[in-house]
Chains A and B, each alone.
Chain A
């Protein structure tokens, strides 16, 4: 019976939830006496945790006909992309490094979710970080959560949603994230093809106090375009 479970890859199916319900009882009874299967399951748990933080691109096979269509479309895209390159260079997004100190949550319930989100952020899985931080933001209105949510969304290509989060992160005025939030909000506006609004935002911020070096430099770039 043990060989049956080992040959059929039962442990792997158990980890991924593929095992039919009618086999679960019998396999779990087997599990209580099989160190080999237990080791595979623990390894599966560890692998799931690690793979969740480290996205892997799947090489998907494309049929030849689809490739030809894609190639033609790609040529047209190149032309448009060349024009867009100047705009994107201006709004280049370098996510600020997260160095592992706790992002202080204002709501106890959001702490575990924020921990997971910042692990994903540190691993550059901005899509996952954005999803988790968006959920955390439902119960946590701190500028820190709003800031990292905004950056994650911006890195994940969602400039609209990012802008809303980054503008929230600017409040209250002079909080530790306000300056950087303004910079990234301005970049989001540039990504949304609203460079004049970006410049206006920075100038409004200038009216509230001295600008950071980065904000001044970005404003100068916007003014010179």
Chain B
């Protein structure tokens, strides 16, 4: 797709940028809306509206794609939440505090790779990730119990996650289609 309005810079990498944006939009929308189906719908609607804006020359350059997409996404998500008859509030107020939806957007292959990588983490790092991600405990609370500085635990958690992220390599985007969630047979 090419920019048609005068004064708009050409965007030779538009397809690749949109593809990259889609990954981030799926993550953001799924987390805020609470499920992968709505998250994908919101991401697709956002991209559709973004492309329309590009078509009419309302996005001046590739650098503007991210902030414009983010602004559109907030409105799309807010609209979807209003349709659910939730209280009408600023999008930031309804930011989902539960990490559960993020589990829905990973592929089976990504889970397998991360499972293997988890085995290589130390027991303490695995336990820390589990307490934070699964049990929802706050770093401050864990730090107090273990008698360690909260900042040290925060860094440990971040480094452990970075190690897991490395194993995903080039396959690190969220699932674009609903992943296969049938129970895996016992091996």
Please state if A33 and B95 are interface contacts (CB–CB under 8 Å): no
- Interface status of B13 (Cβ within 8 A of chain A): no
A-B pairs, top 3 by smallest CB distance, nearest first, are: A9-B158, A100-B185, A45-B102
Using A9-B158, A12-B157, A58-B131 as known contacts, say yes or no to A45 and B106 having CB atoms under 8 A apart.
yes
Q: Report the interface size for chain B: residues with CB under 8 A from the other chain.
A: 68
Q: List 25 A-B contacts (CB under 8 A).
A: A8-B154, A9-B154, A12-B157, A15-B132, A15-B161, A18-B138, A18-B139, A21-B93, A31-B27, A32-B28, A35-B172, A38-B173, A39-B165, A42-B102, A43-B165, A46-B113, A46-B115, A48-B100, A50-B118, A56-B123, A58-B131, A60-B145, A98-B186, A112-B181, A122-B183
Using A42-B172, A47-B118 as known contacts, say yes or no to A24 and B92 having CB atoms under 8 A apart.
yes
Give A15's nearest chain B residue, CB to CB.
Answer: B99
- Least CB distance from B7 to A in Å reads 23
Please state if A61 and B147 are interface contacts (CB–CB under 8 Å): yes
Please state if A47 and B186 are interface contacts (CB–CB under 8 Å): no
Using A21-B92, A39-B172, A43-B164 as known contacts, say yes or no to A15 and B183 having CB atoms under 8 A apart.
no
Q: Which residues of A contact B69 (CB under 8 A)?
A: 32
Give A123's nearest chain B residue, CB to CB.
Answer: B186
Please state if A50 and B114 are interface contacts (CB–CB under 8 Å): yes
- Interface status of B59 (Cβ within 8 A of chain A): no
Please state if B92 and A11 are interface contacts (CB–CB under 8 Å): no
Give B29's nearest chain A residue, CB to CB.
Answer: A28
- Interface status of A29 (Cβ within 8 A of chain B): yes
Chain B residues 48 to 77 lying within 8 A of chain A, measured CB to CB, are 66-67, 69-70, 74
Give Cα A118–Cα B186 distance, bound, in whole angstroms: 11
Please state if B130 and A44 are interface contacts (CB–CB under 8 Å): no
- Interface status of A51 (Cβ within 8 A of chain B): yes
- Interface status of A25 (Cβ within 8 A of chain B): yes
Please state if B165 and A61 are interface contacts (CB–CB under 8 Å): no
Residue in B98, B183, B184 whose beta carbon sits within 8 Å of that of A17 in the complex: B98
Please state if A44 and B183 are interface contacts (CB–CB under 8 Å): no
Q: Which residues of B contact A33 (CB under 8 A)?
A: 20-21, 24, 66
Chain B residues 90 to 110 lying within 8 A of chain A, measured CB to CB, are 91-93, 95-100, 102-106, 110
Total A-B residue contacts, Cβ distance less than 8 Å: 183
| In the complex, per-residue mask of A49-80: 1 if CB is within 8 Å of any chain B CB, else 0 | 11110111111110000000000000000000
Could you tell me the dominant secondary structure of chain A's interface residues? helix
- Interface status of B134 (Cβ within 8 A of chain A): yes
Q: Which residues of A contact B127 (CB under 8 A)?
A: 56-59
List 18 additional A-B contacts (Cβ < 8 Å) besides A12-B157, A45-B106, A46-B113: A8-B154, A16-B132, A21-B92, A28-B24, A29-B66, A29-B67, A34-B24, A41-B27, A43-B114, A45-B105, A48-B102, A49-B103, A49-B106, A51-B133, A52-B134, A57-B127, A58-B130, A115-B183
Enumerate chain A interface residues (CB-CB to B < 8 A).
Answer: 8-9, 11-18, 21-22, 24-25, 28-29, 31-36, 38-52, 54-61, 97-100, 102, 112, 115, 118-119, 122
Please state if A29 and B70 are interface contacts (CB–CB under 8 Å): yes
Interface centre among A15, A46, A56, A58 (most CB of B within 10 A): A46
- Interface status of B111 (Cβ within 8 A of chain A): yes
Using A41-B27, A42-B110, A43-B172 as known contacts, say yes or no to A115 and B126 having CB atoms under 8 A apart.
no
Please state if B173 and A17 are interface contacts (CB–CB under 8 Å): no
Interface centre among A13, A40, A54, A122 (most CB of B within 10 A): A40
- Interface status of B85 (Cβ within 8 A of chain A): no
Residue in A9, A16, A39 whose beta carbon sits within 8 Å of that of B136 in the complex: A16
- Least CB distance from A197 to B in Å reads 34
Please state if B24 and A16 are interface contacts (CB–CB under 8 Å): no
Please state if A46 and B28 are interface contacts (CB–CB under 8 Å): no
Give B93's nearest chain A residue, CB to CB.
Answer: A21
